[in-house]
Structure 1
């Protein structure tokens, strides 16, 4: 009898453990799908607003929900590549968003790449009907140049950054490892009054473009690190982003929660405590 009681106790414990794990996964799934999605910054396209190794939660409630609100799971080392369309492809063709609201010019937005489904994070520059153009590195919106003011330089050490080991581009010429890499820094003010920092390295292909007229239901995004950003200035056919449809928007980034300058988040001596809970402009 004692052995049967012990077996029954083990089974009950296993059942309760499975139930606990199940509901924990359900709650985590709801949290990630409906409320917030965790996002690591892997590249320097949004410097110095966002740095490689910043960690934030994307607010999915800000713009409502579409197929892009469903989670994606990508673990390159394990060969796992499950996109939002795999979970919610049955509503991918729906143009309108549930409880939808359009992002505002100047918002920092996470969206699905229109072709390969990867998550991108950029700043919203053009809304439907806008005419967007770059002339000699200066942004024009509806044929008027935006206001820019120089504010010195953004300085960082030239070294491999983050898990991908990316190296920065410098306006002070090629520099060696451990040297200071500089970029010209400006404050750009958009027509609706939103001001943010942008960086300039030098003459690049994206500094002069034709006029992009943003179609209805689509948006135009750019990185703050203008000379190191694959964004809407570049056509999808050339591995760029092009215009982004409303349905591909995931949510808004409002605040950095945690930041690490190292190749791993566990290297606590590389943590940037001054960026913890930092609000984004």
Structure 2
């Protein structure tokens, strides 16, 4: 506990050995966090431990700099890639100066560090994702940087959820249409939920540039186009019973516009992409590259917010997801 108390007491001094103890966990935990499945229990645990490790690291870094006779302001170089590695090596190599004495510190600077620690700890509850394809357009568009929150309850009809593909292990984002006990069927592009068509209201056509996504896929369009042209799709506002209204897209007759009647068993959900003719979802078997019925246990979280578009698309800043 003395090691932790020292990290919280920025007035003191830290030797090379104790500083090394603060350095070792940081690199390993940060690397582990990038490998852990987002919003998983393992990922949440790593986020919390990483937050503690960062708190200890910056606290002892401030004390170590003073022990070397340096200004504590050098601590901010530790957040700069590459420069931070060089500075850590120097801090581990240089001896403590005999005349070193504790010095004042900026309380605002410590508050910033604790804010960073709180942000890292909060990653146990949320995770960011980049949307690579247009399967959820126009709700989520290629290049959108979105925020998803951890799931603590069963998904609801209409939620846009993130889940791990049962076979490939890839992260997928789709909309929940059917829940355990529901029956779902597609007829001529319409969702038949529990024997009743889900209502759609015609909306203005939706357009986007015809170009490749980050995964190399290109959108389907109502009429053939070439690179750089405008790709048009038919749009409609779909409203789930007891759920939200959202825009769905269509380019005309497709094989997936008609499916067999599916009764959803306990522990599973039926999901669809809003861009109906550009989506590998529950209409398509896992063996054919789709996701089939999704185990509820595989649903990690719900997409809540579009933070911004990395492709500079208009109207994509702090946009809530319906």
Residue 165 (str. 1) matches residue 216 (str. 2): yes
Correspondence 1:238 to 2:288: yes
TM-score by length of 1: 0.74
Is residue 274 from structure 1 mapped to residue 315 from structure 2 by the alignment? Answer: yes
Shift of 1:157: 1.4
Q: Which residue of structure 2 lines up, in the alignment, with residue 127 of structure 1? A: 179
Q: Distance in 2 between matches of 1:110 and 1:246?
A: 11
Matched, 1:106 2:158: yes
Q: 1:46 aligns with which of 124, 132, 136?
A: 136
The alpha-carbon distance between structure 1 residues 113 and 30, as it changes in their structure 2 partners (threshold 3 A), is: farther
The residue number in structure 2 matching 1:267 is none
Q: 1: CA distance between counterparts of 2:260 and 2:165?
A: 22
| Helix, strand or coil at the partner of 2:174 | strand
Q: Secondary structure at the match of 1:49?
A: coil
In the TM superposition, what is the alpha-carbon distance from 1:193 to its structure 2 partner?
3.9
Tell me the matched-pair count. 224
Out of 248, 252, 277, the residue aligned to residue 298 of structure 2 is 248
Contact 2:250 2:277 in 1 (8 A): yes
User: How far did residue 29 of structure 1 move?
Assistant: 7.0
Structure-2 change in CA distance of 1:259 and 1:137 (3 Å): same
Q: What is the distance in 2 between the residues matched to 1:165 and 1:114?
A: 23
CA drift at 1:148: 0.3
Is 2:262 aligned against 1:229? no
* In 1, Cα distance between equivalents of 2:254 and 2:191: 14
Give me the whole-angstrom Cα distance separating, in 2, the residues matched to 1:128 and 1:195. 21
CA drift of 1:196 comes to 0.5
* Aligned CA-pair RMSD: 2.3
Q: C-alpha distance in 2, partners of 1:124/1:9?
A: 53
Query: Is it true that 1:36 corresponds to 2:88 in the alignment?
Result: no
Task: Say which structure is richer in strand.
Answer: 1
Taking the TM superposition and a 5 Å limit, the aligned residue runs for 1:11-22 are 11=16, 15=20, 18=23, 21=26
SS of the residue aligned with 2:315?
A: helix
Distance in 1 (CA, whole Å) between partners of 2:120 and 2:212 is 34
Name whichever of 22-31 and 233-242 sits farther off: 22-31
1:140 corresponds to 2:192: yes
How many Å apart are 1:176 and its aligned residue?
1.4
For 1:225 and 1:273, locate their aligned partners in 2 and report how far apart those are by CA, in whole Å: 19
- Inter-partner Cα distance in structure 1 for 2:204 and 2:143: 24
Unaligned runs of 5+ in 1: 1-7, 65-100, 262-270
Partner Cα distance (2:297, 2:190) in 1: 29
Structure 1 segments of 4+ aligned residues over 3 angstroms from their partners: 19-25, 28-32
Tell me the TM-score normalized by structure 2.
0.65
What's the secondary structure of 1:206's corresponding residue?
helix
Give how far 1:57 is off: 1.8
Structure 2 regions of 5+ residues with no counterpart?
A: 1-12, 31-49, 52-118
SS of 1:275's partner is coil
For residue 216 of structure 1, give the secondary structure of its aligned residue in structure 2.
coil
Distance 1:274 1:20 in 2: 41
Q: Which structure shows the higher helix fraction?
A: 2
In the TM superposition, residue 276 of structure 1 has moved relative to its aligned partner by: 1.4
SS, match of residue 274 in structure 1: coil
Aligned partners of 1:144, 1:210: CA distance in 2, in Å? 15
Distance 1:272 1:16, change over 3 A: farther
